[in-house]
Every structure is written in C-alpha cells, then in structure tokens.
C-alpha cells in the first residue's frame, strides 16, 4: 500500500461565495460569520462541504495524473472554517485504483472521509448504501 498527502495552510473565506453562487446554495453559514456564530459554528464562515471534497480529489489527481475518477463515496463528519489549515491523507489499496482518504483540520481532527476509485476500478462495492457510517 502507498499513501498520498495534500495540504492547504489556510482555507480562504473569500472563495466560499464563489462556491455558494455556483452551487446555488444560499445557506448563510458559508458567507456570513455572524450567521455561522448564531447557529453554533463559531465566529468564522463554514467551508461548503463540496469544497472539502474537492481537496481530497486534488490529492488523488496529483497522485495519479490523468486518471479518471470512477466513484466517490463520502461521509462529512465535521466542519472546516475559514482560516483553518487542512491536511488530506490517502491510503491506496493494493489494486492501485482505490484510495481511502480523509481530510483533517489541524491538529488532526478528521472532518471528512471518502473512498475514491479511479479508472480500472470496479464499481463501488456497496451499491450506494455507503461504506462509512456517520452521525452528526
């Protein structure tokens, strides 16, 4: 088994508006620190979940340039806030097409887990039922 890593020292608050506009997501926690704080997330905006997932895909793309992603199965179990540093880590299975990834907020708090399969991988094994369980 081999491993991959990817890091972003500080999640930019200003990028969240672009993601919200593109996603059609009008959830105020992503763009208004006061709204995020009022709802218990703390005094910083909350990074959209798909952005966090993009970080894990970045890691896979850098580890396997040109590979096609076949399947992503992800459980979002925590939040990333503006200014957080994030660290992605992935463990590749022996078939070389399946990577079990996770995204952690410093210092080591995991907020996202995903199994990512790339080309030549078989379909995800769980037929949509999920390979991770999560309870928020």
Partner 1 sequence: MTAAKDPIGKAALMAQGFVIPPGVFDLSASLDDAIRRSCAAPLRDGEQAHPIFAFIAALGGMGSRVGDVCRGLGLAFDSGAVLGRCRIDYDAPLTVDTRYDVATSVVALERKGSRRFGAADHLTLGMTVSAGGGLRARVRLTTIMPAPV
Give the footprint of partner 1 on this chain (CB under 8 A).
Answer: 8, 12, 15, 18-19, 22-29, 39-41, 46, 48-51, 53-55, 57-58, 61-62, 65-66, 68-76, 79, 123-124, 128, 130, 132, 134-136
Shortest Cβ distance from residue 82 to partner 1 (Å)?
13
- Which residue in 104, 100, 120 sits closest to 112, CA to CA? 104
The nearer residue to partner 1, 76 or 92, going by C-beta atoms, is 76
Is 96 strand, coil or helix?
Answer: coil
Count CA atoms closer than 13 A to 86's CA, side-chain side: 26
In angstroms, the Cα distances linking 31 to 103, 107, 115, 126 are 22, 24, 29, 35
Shortest Cβ distance from residue 84 to partner 1 (Å)?
14
Shortest Cβ distance from residue 97 to partner 1 (Å)?
13
Cα torsion through 88, 92, 93, 94, rounded to 10: -170
The nearer residue to partner 1, 75 or 96, going by C-beta atoms, is 75
The nearer residue to partner 1, 25 or 93, going by C-beta atoms, is 25
- Per-residue H/E/C for 72-105: EEEEECCCCECCCCEEEEEEECCCCCEEEEEEEE
Shortest Cβ distance from residue 63 to partner 1 (Å)?
11
The nearer residue to partner 1, 55 or 92, going by C-beta atoms, is 55
């Amino acid at each position: 088994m081999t491993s991959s890593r990817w890091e972003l020292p500080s999640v930019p608050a200003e990028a969240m508006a672009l993601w919200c506009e593109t996603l059609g997501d009008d959830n105020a926690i992503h763009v208004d620190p006061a709204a995020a704080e009022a709802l218990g997330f703390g005094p910083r905006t909350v990074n959209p979940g798909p952005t966090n997932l993009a970080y894990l895909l970045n890691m896979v793309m850098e580890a396997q340039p040109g590979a096609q992603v076949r399947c992503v199965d992800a459980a979002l179990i925590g939040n990333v806030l503006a200014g957080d540093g994030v660290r992605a880590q992935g463990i590749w299975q022996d078939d070389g097409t399946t990577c079990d990834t996770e995204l952690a907020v410093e210092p080591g708090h995991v907020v996202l887990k995903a199994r990512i399969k790339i080309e030549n991988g078989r379909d995800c094994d769980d037929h949509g039922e999920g390979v991770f369980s999560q309870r928020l």
